Structure 1
Amino acid sequence: MKVLVTGTAGFIGSYVAQRLLARGDEVIGLDNLNDYYDVTLKKARLAQFAEHPAYTHIHADLSDRTAMEAAFDTHKPQRVVHLAAQAGVRYAAENPHVYVSSNITGFLHILEGCRHHDVEHLVFASTSSVYGANTLLPFSEHEPTEHPLTLYAASKKANEQMAHSYAHLYGLRCTGLRFFTVYGPWGRPDMALFLFTRAILADEPIPVFNHGHHKRSFTYVDDIAEGVVRSLDHLPQTNAGWDGKAPDPASSGVAPYRIYNIGNEKPVELMHYIEVLEACLGRRARLNMLPLQPGDVPDTEADVSELVSAVGYRPKVSVETGVKEFVRWYRDYYRA
């Protein structure tokens, strides 16, 4: 297939692009290489596959309507994996307009491109953050998500709703994936594992929010990429069993649309996560215990039974193995 993958210089996008190329697909990669974090790291990710004969790169911004229309007109992808977005929960408090420009306007340009070029299937990134004020664990796609606690989460919830409208109006097959705390080699520098590793090696204190009483469905990036590709191959259908009264939040009786959790169904306590990292680094962390951050939720736990049933998705990598692989990469990449 010819697949447009947005965010190929990003963490998850680079893994998905490599997996598609490895199985013989043609990948059109799109990224604006913005400076939200170290651009050198983004370029290094791209360098892993930029010279592949089946890879073509487009340097463009999602919010640039002309550039996005040209990307679809020129390359005519059969399917689209949309992973590019303005990431980061706390950054939204400082730069809210960037989130609307990238995550709302940019997503509209993706939907329009898919609509006008008969794209077979759009798989797009959502987030476990959409569960917001919902405290019923494990998080299930069948539960409402009407109360996001951050602008980032609200923008992703909007993406889910926009996708459903296009699925209904134009028959565009759409699958949204709610990612749960992805980590691993080549990860984002603003994520906890990256920040903790850097601080421990520098003998600096690490911020431990909610006094360490967090649980997270930490999910290794290879497991995530595998689930994304499997989802791309699985085309959603209209739910013929809908009774016409109360639509399921995870699917639709009127559109080829589906929402799935994608993550590790075995949550890990934050303090255990830190202990594993300490063991891999051979150093103890200096802990700065802090209260719960505004917008954070104490615990996340992914119910992935629907994705298991649909595509056979099963996370395989334990936190012990995943953190070890990250530390190995970090020491090599940064010569630390």
Structure 2
Amino acid sequence: MSKHKIKKILVTGMAGFIGYHLSKLLVKSGYHVVGLDNINDYYDPNLKLARLKDLGFNTNEISYNTLLEIENTSFIKLDLTDLANMKALFKAQQFDVVVNLAAQAGVRYSLENPHAYVDSNITGFLNILESCRAYPVEHLIFASSSSVYGLSEEIPFQEDNCADHPLAMYAASKKANEMMAHSYANLYNIPCTGLRFFTVYGPWGRPDMALHLFTEAMVEDREFEVFNNGNMSRDFTYVGDIVESVKRLIPLAPKENNPIFNPKKPVPSKSSKPYQLFNIGNNSPVALMDFVKAIEKALGKKGKIKFKPMQPGDVQSTYANVESLFEYIQFKPATNLEEGVQAFVDRYLALNT
């Protein structure tokens, strides 16, 4: 399919980490991108504004529910819970595709403020679905999370593994998104693709994530906490690989009556309705202490580690099976950890020194 067939894409969470990178790639690839973000203060809004500025927007002109337009890119500050203005935006813009990346993120924060996850990830996502129902799109791609696997120790995680035992409200909200999307695929024939992201990292990354926290502490010569005494591993996935995967999925909307689906032996990732789920991970888990060593190497200095026990809501390891995704888009994440960490550190130092 020609990259120009789909003309207009809504990216929610444009000022966020993945949304910023995806928007940049899609504009470069010839799409018209409309970005949406509420620029909340879960973490420093100045980082979100810096991402928008890098995309070409005059951040001094941002005001609620006002569309800023530059060549092939637009931005609107809007909250997903604002259904009336969401529907007005869909009506005015007539999107071909929606990529929903806006969400209340963070596992530990969900222990402190669970209502934020219902507002953004449940009510907000319902409003996305309702807007797609009112003004139909060719494809809705939405962010889920590896955290849905919860208590499962069936490693590597496959999309058809049991994901019914979430460990925190964040994971529960993402699992709910998957079920909500399927119901709308069934009721209103909205083609939906859910993506279970595995520990995304890279330049412009969130300051609440380990890579930023560890790097900042090392640069400032402070102690930093490593949980479960370092006995953890993560399938760290470079953001450039994530957004390339999403770009390739855009024209590949699921169809009805998938012959692979067997209603007598149903699986979570496929359906007779226009719905599918994929893992997006590096397919190569890294020990947390090796991750720390990669940061130390990139910075040229040793970290001051304070080991702590496992935190509530955390899992010991994540590991994605990505064969289904590779078969579908002929691409799998493969960026080397040291290369990806170096790219983050270079950008961090450019922004903060």
Normalized against structure 1, the TM-score is what?
A: 0.98
Asked if 1:41 is matched to 2:47, the reply is yes
Unmatched tracts of structure 2, length 5 or more: 1-6, 58-69
How far 1:287 sits from its partner (Å)? Answer: 1.1
- Alignment partner, residue 83 of structure 2: 65
**What do the CA deviations read for 1:3-61 (whole angstroms, capped 9, x no partner)?**
01100000000011111101111111100100111111101101122344011111100
How far 1:194 sits from its partner (Å)? Answer: 0.1
Asked if 1:108 is matched to 2:144, the reply is no
**What do the CA deviations read for 1:257-277 (whole angstroms, capped 9, x no partner)?**
000000100111000010111
AA aligned opposite 2:334: K
Contact 1:50/1:57 (<8 A) preserved: no
Q: Partner of 1:40: helix, strand, or coil?
A: helix
2: distance between equivalents of 1:116 and 1:150? 32
Q: Partner of 1:27: helix, strand, or coil?
A: strand
How far 1:138 sits from its partner (Å)? Answer: 0.2
AA aligned opposite 1:2: K
Match for 2:148 among 122, 125, 130?
A: 130
How far 1:308 sits from its partner (Å)? Answer: 0.2
**What do the CA deviations read for 1:230-267 (whole angstroms, capped 9, x no partner)?**
111211123224332121111112x1100000010011
AA aligned opposite 2:202: G
Match for 1:249 among 268, 272, 275?
A: 268
- Alignment partner, residue 164 of structure 2: 146
Contact 1:4/1:28 (<8 A) preserved: yes
Contact 2:261/2:270 (<8 A) preserved: no
Contact 1:141/1:259 (<8 A) preserved: yes
Q: Partner of 1:176: helix, strand, or coil?
A: strand
Q: Partner of 1:233: helix, strand, or coil?
A: coil
Contact 1:58/1:71 (<8 A) preserved: no
Q: Partner of 1:294: helix, strand, or coil?
A: coil
- Alignment partner, residue 207 of structure 2: 189
Match for 2:38 among 10, 32, 36?
A: 32
Q: Partner of 1:279: helix, strand, or coil?
A: helix
- Alignment partner, residue 251 of structure 2: 233
2: distance between equivalents of 1:50 and 1:135? 44
- Alignment partner, residue 342 of structure 2: 324
How far 1:156 sits from its partner (Å)? Answer: 0.4
Asked if 1:264 is matched to 2:264, the reply is no
**What do the CA deviations read for 1:115-168 (whole angstroms, capped 9, x no partner)?**
111111000000000000111100000112011000000000000000000001
Match for 2:330 among 309, 312, 316?
A: 312
AA aligned opposite 1:246: K
Q: Partner of 2:140: helix, strand, or coil?
A: strand
Q: Partner of 1:280: helix, strand, or coil?
A: helix
Match for 2:8 among 2, 10, 21?
A: 2
AA aligned opposite 1:216: R
Normalized against structure 2, the TM-score is what?
A: 0.93
AA aligned opposite 2:28: A
Q: Partner of 1:203: helix, strand, or coil?
A: coil
Instruction: Determine what percentage of the aligned residue pairs are the same residue.
Output: 52
**What do the CA deviations read for 1:199-240 (whole angstroms, capped 9, x no partner)?**
111111111101111110001110111011111121112322
Runs of 4+ in structure 1 off by over 4 angstroms are none
**What do the CA deviations read for 1:61-84 (whole angstroms, capped 9, x no partner)?**
001111211111111101100000
2: distance between equivalents of 1:47 and 1:261? 31
**What do the CA deviations read for 1:168-211 (whole angstroms, capped 9, x no partner)?**
11111000000000011100000000000111111111111011
2: distance between equivalents of 1:200 and 1:233? 42
How far 1:101 sits from its partner (Å)? Answer: 0.5
AA aligned opposite 2:38: N
**What do the CA deviations read for 1:96-126 (whole angstroms, capped 9, x no partner)?**
1111010000000100111111111000000
1: distance between equivalents of 2:226 and 2:131? 42
Count, aligned residues: 334
> Does 50-59 or 69-78 show the bigger shift?
50-59
AA aligned opposite 2:318: T
- Alignment partner, residue 80 of structure 1: 98
1: distance between equivalents of 2:88 and 2:287? 46
Question: After the TM superposition, which residues 149-188 of structure 1 pair with which residues of structure 2 at under 5 Å, given as runs?
Answer: 149-188=167-206
RMSD: 0.9
